[in-house]
């Protein structure tokens, strides 16, 4: 099957869903895009059951669903790209309630809504959901009460999480009418209406509901596992007017999302270009003067990136080849354990081996979208 | 280093770090753990939790960034979803009983510092949490920038935290420490890893988050103000396999001085020591010459007044040239030469 072929053998061990709730970080630089890694994560999760149809041990054959939130490309480009590389049709998977897509880009800069919620407003839940009630209570999804994961006993915004129609304020109703694209929610496609984090959280929640909705009706007792992919949420930092408010709130939103029920793993793609990490480098060297010289966006982006790296179990770092351009090498991929790789000793004995081992490899993205990943010096063979 | 001195350090400092990690007798009310992506502090925190369990101390874990709370924690507070007031309320609820000894663990101070109004009031917030029965262990990521008001004269948060802390623990990766030591032995520049490499797209260096354990750099401040500085190695615990072998509750003391680590010993030959650089200086140079001085030679050499000191004494500038010569006994005074 071509979906299987799309996964580079060297990477499969890293793309497997981890045994527990965790976060993975994929960093990219200009010229070494992270898109293909996120795609491979998606393909590995969605192609799972057909590949491991027989061997269901170790959770490999379990039902995995994907929620993709993308701030970089829209539905069409993801659909074309994934079909090209793996033969999987995400539209068909969305019909089967196995895939949901949240478009963060299309409605992001809707001029009717430029206000950024502050942290206080955010935590007190003052901001209403900027979606029409119809789309929230779609006929296809069963309105079940949402459960936060047991780790989070006191979820904030309890009111907003309830599936009933939220109270809409005057301005937000007009915002929802002016949404550029209006899609019925049953097809698993959602559009973020603004850059507000509340709408991000709620829309992602509904997308997650959508992919886990079939669970209630199906008779097997196996819990669905959801892979949440966030493609470049750092765009929000640069589009909001007040990044200092946005960055901690965005982090806590990501934390809340990755702790939702059934969400097994979260993959976040973030840019790590030199100017975006420079503030962290200066911080590390304690160059007091240099730290102060950075613009808010620079320092907040690097704080966002480094905070995510500290939360991540594994960090994929993509970069260009140091020696310059080459026709058969697109870049270097380094897989390193992140700050949270070591979350407990229980699984150490079983996992001490391949998984999470640091590794540096070269990769080549070909014109047809396929990717070859190989060790240094092993290229040019095929 | 003299073996007796090493033995002394071994006994004293190991006792000290055990006391600190156990949070016994309120040894250190505020322990600041500074980590980076090179070696995260999670392993160290787990060790504190395990030791807390052993000594029947309650552990309260404030998770700002931890997705999965480590096992063995008594109370976990989802701090990322609370604001400062909510957090303080929640904590005061848990810290009601003054008899109960507790350890308060902050898994990241960086995010906490981003909360509105926290940054300027950090000292008072932290000290309100500390009590004779409660000690604080807080992690600070040294590579995550925190906000700093450029116009104010107040010191940066890290400086403030370092000033407040009674113990500062810095974590290092064993791989990086070994590489640095090897480079020092050859008088090469020490290698840098991760962000410090300043290579495009690299945030985590090779050899980061070493699986073998954590190298701990401890700076303990005594009440007198004198600081004790030492490097330790904390190996990772071998999970369930050992637990079942030893029976539940068995606790193996495993922390050691870094100098006693077999790999570290091999990496550095004799006579070089991180804690007292220059201890072995001047020794071990093999040559046929005697490069040393005897006590008398050294005294004589110190007694020599060099000419430029004399020139500075009187007048100095503009006095013209002078010949300074003191005649020794073996010198023969030549009058004719003097007349020229």
| Contact: A319, B199; criterion CB under 8 Å | yes
The pLDDT, as a whole number, for residue A318 is 93
Model confidence at A55: pLDDT above 50: no
Q: Distances from the Cα of A159 to the Cαs of A155, A167, A353, in angstroms?
A: 10, 10, 45
Q: Distances from the Cα of B204 to the Cαs of A125, B47, B200, B208, B211, in angstroms?
A: 36, 24, 11, 7, 15
Q: Distances from the Cα of B5 to the Cαs of A136, A221, B10, in angstroms?
A: 72, 64, 8
Chain A residues touching residue B70 (CB < 8 angstroms): 343-344
The pLDDT, as a whole number, for residue A358 is 85
The pLDDT, as a whole number, for residue A184 is 52
Q: Which of B40, B195, B202 sits opposite A319 (nearest CB)?
A: B202
Could you write out the DSSP letters of every residue in A106-126? TTTT-TT--PPPPHHHHHHT-
SS3 label, residue A360: strand
Which of 3.40.50.150, 3.10.20.30, 3.40.1350.10, 3.40.50.300 is the CATH number of B3-267? 3.40.50.300
Model confidence pLDDT, tens digit, residues B106-158: 988 888 888 777 777 888 888 888 888 888 999 999 988 887 765 677 788 88
Average pLDDT, chain B: 80
**Across B217-245, average pLDDT:** 78
Model confidence pLDDT, tens digit, residues A273-295: 888 888 888 877 776 666 667 88
Chain B residues touching residue A284 (CB < 8 angstroms): 36, 142-143, 195-196
Instruction: Please state the domain extents for chain B.
Output: 3-267, 295-339
Lowest mean pLDDT among A78-92, A112-126, B323-337: A112-126
Q: Does A382 touch chain B (CB under 8 A)?
A: no
Model confidence at A242: pLDDT above 50: yes
Q: Is A68 inside a domain boundary?
A: yes
The pLDDT, as a whole number, for residue B315 is 59
Average pLDDT, chain A: 73
Nearest-5° angle of CA B143, CA A196, CA A154? 75
Q: Does B162 touch chain A (CB under 8 A)?
A: no
The pLDDT, as a whole number, for residue A343 is 62
The pLDDT, as a whole number, for residue B210 is 85
Tell me which of A283, A301, A314, A363 to substitute to probe the interface with B (most B C-beta atoms closer than 10 Å).
A283
The pLDDT, as a whole number, for residue A97 is 86
Confidence of residue B316 (pLDDT cuts 50, 70, 90): low
Lowest mean pLDDT among A350-364, B99-113, B142-156, B242-256: B242-256
Taking the CA of residue B153 and the nearest CA in chain A, the distance in Å comes to: 12
Model confidence at B168: pLDDT above 90: yes
Closest CA to B142 of B41, B28, B17: B41
The pLDDT, as a whole number, for residue A160 is 38
| Contact: B206, A358; criterion CB under 8 Å | yes
Model confidence pLDDT, tens digit, residues A127-154: 443 343 333 333 333 333 333 333 333 3
CATH number at residue A301: 3.40.50.300
CB contact residues (below 8 A), chain A span 211-250, against chain B: 244, 247-248
Tell me which of A234, A251, A257, A284 to substitute to probe the interface with B (most B C-beta atoms closer than 10 Å).
A284
Q: Could you identify the residue written with the tokens 């407040």?
A: B164
Q: Does A330 touch chain B (CB under 8 A)?
A: no
- What tokens appear for A316 in the block? 């994929």
In angstroms, the CA B177 to CA B191 distance is 10
Structural domain boundaries, residue A235: 2-374
**Number of Cα atoms under 13 Å in the Cβ half of residue B176:** 25
Lowest mean pLDDT among A6-20, A141-155, B198-212: A141-155
Model confidence at A120: pLDDT above 60: no
The pLDDT, as a whole number, for residue B326 is 76
Chain B residues touching residue A306 (CB < 8 angstroms): 37, 141, 143-145, 203
In angstroms, the CA A296 to CA A293 distance is 9
Q: Which of A20, A281, A310 sits opposite B40 (nearest CB)?
A: A310
Model confidence pLDDT, tens digit, residues B320-340: 666 767 777 887 777 776 655
**Across A330-334, average pLDDT:** 92
Q: How many domains does chain A have?
A: 1
Q: Does B252 touch chain A (CB under 8 A)?
A: no
Model confidence at A348: pLDDT above 80: no
Q: Which residue has the higher pLDDT, A157 or B47?
A: B47
Model confidence pLDDT, tens digit, residues A162-196: 333 333 333 433 444 444 444 455 678 888 877 78
In angstroms, the CA B135 to CA B133 distance is 7
% chain A with pLDDT above 70: 65
- Which ranges of A259-287 does DSSP label H, i.e. alpha helix? 274-285
CB contact residues (below 8 A), chain B span 215-234, against chain A: none
| Contact: A344, B201; criterion CB under 8 Å | no
Q: Is A302 inside a domain boundary?
A: yes
The pLDDT, as a whole number, for residue B317 is 59
**Across A210-227, average pLDDT:** 70
The pLDDT, as a whole number, for residue A165 is 37
Tell me which of B37, B84, B155, B252 to substitute to probe the interface with A (most A C-beta atoms closer than 10 Å).
B37
The pLDDT, as a whole number, for residue A28 is 92
Model confidence pLDDT, tens digit, residues B252-307: 778 889 888 888 887 655 444 444 334 344 444 566 767 677 788 888 888 887 76
Q: Which residue of B has its CA nearest to A258?
A: B67
Chain-centroid distance, C-alpha B6: 18
Q: Which of B81, B206, B211 sits opposite A156 (nearest CB)?
A: B81
Q: Is A381 inside a domain boundary?
A: no
Q: Which residue of A has its CA nearest to B159?
A: A286
The pLDDT, as a whole number, for residue A178 is 41
**By the 8 A CB rule, do A349 and B239 touch?**
yes
Q: Is A380 inside a domain boundary?
A: no
Confidence of residue A109 (pLDDT cuts 50, 70, 90): confident
Q: Which residue of B has its CA nearest to A315?
A: B204
ipTM: 0.75
Model confidence at B180: pLDDT above 90: yes
Could you write out the DSSP letters of every residue in B234-286? EEPP-HHHHHHHH-TT------EEGGG-HHHHHHS-TT--SSSTTTTTT-S--
């Amino acid at each position: 099957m071509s979906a299987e072929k799309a996964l580079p053998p060297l990477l499969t061990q890293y793309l497997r869903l981890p045994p527990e709730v965790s976060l993975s970080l994929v960093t990219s630089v200009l010229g070494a895009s992270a898109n293909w890694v996120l795609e491979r994560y998606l393909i590995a999760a969605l192609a799972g059951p057909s590949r491991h149809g027989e061997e269901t041990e170790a959770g490999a054959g379990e039902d995995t669903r994907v929620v993709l939130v993308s701030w970089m490309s829209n539905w069409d480009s993801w659909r074309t790209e994934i079909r090209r590389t793996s033969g999987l049709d995400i539209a068909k998977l969305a019909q089967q309630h196995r895939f949901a897509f949240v478009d963060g880009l299309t409605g992001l800069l809707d001029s009717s809504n430029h206000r950024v919620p502050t942290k206080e407003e955010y935590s007190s839940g003052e901001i209403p959901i900027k979606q029409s009630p119809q789309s929230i209570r779609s006929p296809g999804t069963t309105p079940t009460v949402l459960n936060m994961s047991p780790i989070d006993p006191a979820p904030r915004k309890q009111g907003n999480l309830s599936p009933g129609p939220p109270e809409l304020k005057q301005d937000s109703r007009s915002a929802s009418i002016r949404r550029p694209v209006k899609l019925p929610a049953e097809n698993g496609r959602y559009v973020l209406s603004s850059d507000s984090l509340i709408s991000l959280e709620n829309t992602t929640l509904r997308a997650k509901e959508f992919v886990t909705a079939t669970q209630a009706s199906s008779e097997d007792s196996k819990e669905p596992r959801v892979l949440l992919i966030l493609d470049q949420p750092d765009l929000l930092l640069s589009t909001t007017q007040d990044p200092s408010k946005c960055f901690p709130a965005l982090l806590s939103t990501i934390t809340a999302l990755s702790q939702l029920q059934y969400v097994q793993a979260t993959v976040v793609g973030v840019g790590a270009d030199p100017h975006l990490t420079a503030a962290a480098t200066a911080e590390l060297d304690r160059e007091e003067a240099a730290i102060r010289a950075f613009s808010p966006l620079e320092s907040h982006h690097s704080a966002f990136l480094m905070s995510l790296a500290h939360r991540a179990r594994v960090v994929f770092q993509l970069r260009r080849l140091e020696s310059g351009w080459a026709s058969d090498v697109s870049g270097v991929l380094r897989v390193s354990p992140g700050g949270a790789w070591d979350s407990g000793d229980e699984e150490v004995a079983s996992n001490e081996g391949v998984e999470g081992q640091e590794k540096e490899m070269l990769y080549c993205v070909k014109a047809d979208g396929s990717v070859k990943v190989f060790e240094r010096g092993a290229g040019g063979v095929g | 280093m003299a073996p007796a001195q090493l033995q002394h350090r071994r006994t004293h400092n190991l006792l000290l770090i055990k006391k600190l990690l156990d949070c016994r007798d309120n040894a250190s009310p505020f322990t600041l753990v500074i980590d980076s992506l090179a070696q995260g502090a999670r392993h160290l925190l787990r060790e504190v939790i395990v030791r807390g369990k052993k000594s029947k101390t309650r552990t309260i874990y404030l998770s700002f960034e931890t997705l999965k709370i480590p096992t063995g924690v008594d109370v976990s507070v989802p701090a990322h979803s609370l604001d400062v007031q909510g957090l303080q309320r929640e904590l005061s609820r848990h810290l009601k009983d003054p008899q109960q000894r507790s350890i308060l663990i902050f898994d990241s101070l960086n995010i906490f510092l981003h909360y509105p109004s926290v940054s300027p009031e950090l000292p008072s917030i932290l000290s309100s949490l500390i009590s004779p029965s409660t000690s604080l262990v807080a992690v600070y990521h040294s590579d995550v920038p925190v906000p700093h008001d450029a116009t104010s004269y107040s010191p940066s948060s890290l400086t403030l935290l370092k000033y407040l802390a009674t113990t500062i623990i810095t974590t290092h990766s064993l791989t990086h420490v070994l590489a640095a030591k090897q480079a020092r032995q050859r008088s090469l520049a020490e290698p840098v890893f991760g962000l410090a490499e300043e290579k495009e797209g690299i945030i985590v260096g090779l050899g980061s988050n070493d699986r073998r354990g954590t190298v701990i750099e401890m700076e303990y401040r005594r009440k007198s103000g004198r600081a004790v500085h030492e490097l330790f190695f904390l190996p990772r615990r071998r999970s369930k396999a050992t637990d079942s072998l030893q029976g539940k509750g068995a606790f193996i003391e495993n922390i050691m001085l870094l100098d006693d680590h077999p790999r570290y010993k091999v990496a550095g030959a004799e006579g070089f020591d991180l804690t007292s650089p220059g201890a072995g200086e001047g020794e071990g140079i093999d040559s046929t010459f005697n490069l040393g001085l005897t006590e008398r030679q050294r005294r004589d050499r110190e007694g020599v007044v060099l000419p430029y000191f004399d020139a500075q004494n009187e007048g100095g500038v503009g006095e013209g040239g002078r010949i300074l010569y003191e005649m020794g006994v073996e010198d023969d005074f030549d009058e004719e030469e003097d007349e020229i």
